[in-house]
Amino acid sequence: MKILVTGGAGFIGGNFCYYILHKYPAYDIVCLDSLTYAGSLSTLKDALTEKRFSFVKGDIADKTLVDKLFSEHRFDAVINFAAETHVDRSIESPQVFLMTNIIGTQVLMDACKAYGNIRFHQVSTDEVYGDLPLDRPDLLFTELTPLCASSPYSSSKAGADLLALAYYRTYGLFVTVSRCSNNYGPYQYPEKLIPLMISRALADQPLPVYGEGKNVRDWLYVDDHCAAIDLILHGGKPGEVYNIGGHNEMANIDIVKLILSELGKPESLITFVTDRLGHDLRYAIDPSKIHAALGWLPKTKFSEGIKTTIQWYLKNENWWREKLDKRIAHKL
């Protein structure tokens, strides 16, 4: 099988490339990534040594480039990880998110349609559902939960999801969609909560926490997410949406305190800052459908996954420090 992985130099996409390369010795991967601030060839350092892996720098919204790739390769499937994902950035610059997340998805699906109804998987987010109240732990997002996006980011992802499902219904394109909860693990860009808190704690810098830190997220270890997408790729039904959740709900403030405890740092480093505009209160995924249909369940307990993640960032300081240095330089 030959797979086009878009956004493969990013956090989840990079981990997925390694997952497939290790599990399927006969599979080939072409990785397309525009190498924005969140994508890095250093993430793919080991993958680039594999003959079965090739990298192409480019934008998924570039129709000429995408068509060229599809004409040169006989792809069996496309896994679309490419996306602008950071909520704060989407509030500042919505147009960038619309171009990549919606138009880019359309360009990819048009190519899949034109070159033989190639299987297309859209990687989405639980944020398309909006949020849930903190005082109703019984409520969970299911695949039938109405979309109620809160930010330009989640709105752009919801639009891409609907477009993908429309391509299935209108054109018969083999489309599947997955919506995951918050991922964590190796190679995550250090503006996200867990790696940001790790890097700042190691430097004894203040740890900024929105509001009172009571916002709750369902945390999913990235390898478990990759395993779920693998199952969807090989056994998912066209036109179906699959929710992928970690069964690990935790308040942001508890995550921060746990990281400080693991690193032996004082809680006095915590600094509460003005809350994000439209900040969702709680996300919680019901993954019953993918469990029943494909047998998937998350294997990694958060207590184990967070320790593994912290150790990875301790051992790979050069990787994340390079990202921080570039981010600072970009702002100057």
Q: State the Cα–Cα distance between residues 105 and 102, nearest whole angstrom.
A: 5
Residues, the chain: 332
Any catalytic annotation for residue 240?
no
Strand (E) or helix (H) holding 56: strand 53-57
Which member of 33, 84, 127, 230 is catalytic? 127
CA neighbor of 199 nearest in space, from 44, 312, 85, 41: 312
Contacts of 7 (CB under 8 A, 6+ apart): 13, 32, 33, 39, 60, 80, 81, 82, 83
Which member of 28, 59, 126, 218 is catalytic? 126
Contacts of 202 (CB under 8 A, 6+ apart): 263, 314, 317
Q: What does each C-alpha distance from 310 to 118, 211, 261, 318 come to in angstroms?
A: 38, 24, 11, 14
Strand (E) or helix (H) holding 125: strand 119-125
Q: State the Cα–Cα distance between residues 276 and 164, nearest whole angstrom.
A: 30
Amino acid at 164: A
Which member of 129, 153, 167, 221 is catalytic? 153
Any catalytic annotation for residue 127?
yes
244 with 285: CB under 8 angstroms?
A: yes
172 with 210: CB under 8 angstroms?
A: no
Any catalytic annotation for residue 317?
no
Q: State the Cα–Cα distance between residues 162 and 66, nearest whole angstrom.
A: 21
Three-class DSSP category at 295:
coil
Active site residues: 126-127, 153
